[in-house]
Amino acid sequence: MVNFSQRLGKLSPYPFVEISRIIAEKRAAGVDVVTFGIGDPDIPTPQHIIDRLLTASEDPSNHRYPETDGLPEMRRAIAHWYRQRFDVDLDPDTEVLPLIGAKEGIGHAAFCFLDPGDIALVPDPAYPVYSVGTMFAGAESYVMPLYERNGWLPELDAIPNDVARQAKVMWLNYPNNPTSAVASQEDLESAMRYCREHDIALLHDAAYSEVGYEGYRAGSLLQIDGAKDVGLEFHSLSKTYNMTGWRMGMAVGNADMIKALFQIKANLDSGVPQAIQEMSIEALTGSQDCIDENVAKYTWRRDRVLQALTRMGLKVDVPRASLYIWAPVPEGFTSAEFAARLLEETDIVVTPGSSYGQYGEGYIRLSLTTPDERVETGCQRLENWVIPSPTLRT
């Protein structure tokens, strides 16, 4: 018998692993499942980006170990993109670090700032990696509840002083997964002020910055004066360029924080495969047409799903950004019960809000990364479904 670590025992199943298992079972039984589950773009990576990968894969210099901090041209492409998109200047050699997807960097960032006994300020509901990384580092998450009444922004005044003193990092994520909320520059600025005052590293996950509707364009944390004092921003090529399968993200911001993350990573991984870096350079510096094309597709899906949910009698806010619809469940159901009922009775997969933390209870998340015709099929099923009475619960 081997003995496993305590930290392993503290992990709850990663939400999508369990859902993937149920979908696989149903599909194996011949059931036509429509999934609004995981946020994983169904649209292929644009051809010009793939072409660059094909060429790059032929180059023997790309067959060898990459550097942890990436190709210099990769770091320059990231800085270039930031300048074009946010009008922010970055030193490509000290303020930029490529990641094997944002998830990797977010998880490893915990090791840069947290020791046992330290506190991380973590929003709830949230992308699970912030609190899991905290736990892996032996530190504690202090939950910042996100409430609808606050536009899903944390109440910084509600954080007790002794917690603020022990806190080493604060995680934020806007446009937000799972709530699809957006933050104004003033919102980011007050978080920044709070973190500077308390010597807290402000870690902003901006994975959805390029998915905005009706012309909404998210800002960057680094546009705020003084942001580079305590700020680090995480981005991903996954959602922006339909590149979830290729694994490319980046961290940018404070040079000491970038160096710390580099040091952790240099001891754990060997960087992003260079052919993937080359395709990523093409993504960041080549045609940006796919961003608008994606948004046009997601807008149709968003509106179609909103229509179906409204016809079901649910009251749903119209998202201004992100790939998600965050819908309240009918009275009397927990989010897990409602998601289970949907799956049982309509073969539709949604994510229960409670998988993103206790404050996600009462909501379900629907992802728009499903082909249009599947969205249509799913919406028709939703519209024809008579919501069971919660008192008839099985």
Ligand X SMILES: *Cc1c(COP(=O)(O)O)cnc(C)c1O
Catalog residues that contact ligand X under the rule CB under 6 A. Answer: 39, 101-103, 127, 173, 177, 205, 207, 236, 238, 244, 249
Nearest approach, Cβ of 216 to ligand X (angstroms)? 17
The residues near 8 (Cβ < 8 Å, ≥ 6 apart) are none
**With respect to ligand X, which residue has the nearer C-beta, 205 or 282?**
205
Closest separation in Å from C-beta 105 to ligand X: 8
Kindly give the pairing relationship between strand 96-99 and strand 119-124: unpaired
Contact 321, 180 (CB under 8 A): yes
Of the pair 238, 355, the CB lying nearest ligand X is at 238
Q: Are 221 and 204 in contact (CB under 8 A)?
A: yes
Nearer CB in complex with ligand X: 177/220:
177
Give the shortest CB-393-to-ligand X separation in angstroms: 31
Q: At what angle do helices 289-311 and 372-384 cross, to 10 degrees?
A: 10
CB of 233 to ligand X, least distance (A): 12
Q: How far is the CB of 194 from ligand X (least distance, A)?
A: 21
Least distance from C-beta 39 to ligand X, angstroms?
Answer: 6
Q: How far apart are CA 78 and CA 253, in angstroms?
A: 12
Nearest alpha-carbon partner for 379 in 321, 327, 336? 327
Contacts of 357 (CB under 8 A, 6+ apart): 124, 125, 126, 131, 143
Among candidates 215, 253, 217, which has minimal Cα distance to 234? Answer: 253
Structure tokens at 225: 């004066």
Distance CA 392, CA 380 (A): 24
Rounded Cα gap, residues 239 and 252, in angstroms: 18
**34/350 Cα distance (integer angstroms):** 9
Q: Smaller CB distance to ligand X: residue 276 or 379?
A: 276
CB of 38 to ligand X, least distance (A): 9
Q: At what angle do helices 274-285 and 72-86 cross, to 10 degrees?
A: 20
Instruction: Please identify, using beta-carbon distances, which residue of 206 and 339 lies nearer to ligand X.
Output: 206
Q: Which residue has the tokens 């000491």?
A: 256
Minimum distance, C-beta of residue 172 to ligand X, in the bound complex (Å): 10
Cα 213 to Cα 380: distance, rounded to the nearest angstrom:
24
Using the minimum distance from each CB to ligand X, give the nearer residue, 127 or 333.
127
Tell the smallest beta-carbon distance from residue 247 to ligand X (Å).
7
The DSSP code sequence of 20-73 is HHHHHHHHHTT---EE--S----SPPPHHHHHHHHHHHT-GGGGSPPPTT--HH
Compute and round to an integer the Cα radius of gyration of the chain. 21
Complex with ligand X: residue 44 or 226, whichever CB lies closer: 44
For ligand X, the closer of residues 236 and 341 by Cβ is 236
Dist. CA 103–CA 191, nearest whole Å: 22
Whose Cβ is closer to ligand X: residue 177's or residue 277's?
A: 177
Token pair for 6: 């305590």
Between 75 and 103, whose beta carbon lies closer to ligand X?
103
User: To the nearest whole angstrom, how small is the minimum distance from the Cβ of residue 362 to ligand X?
Assistant: 20
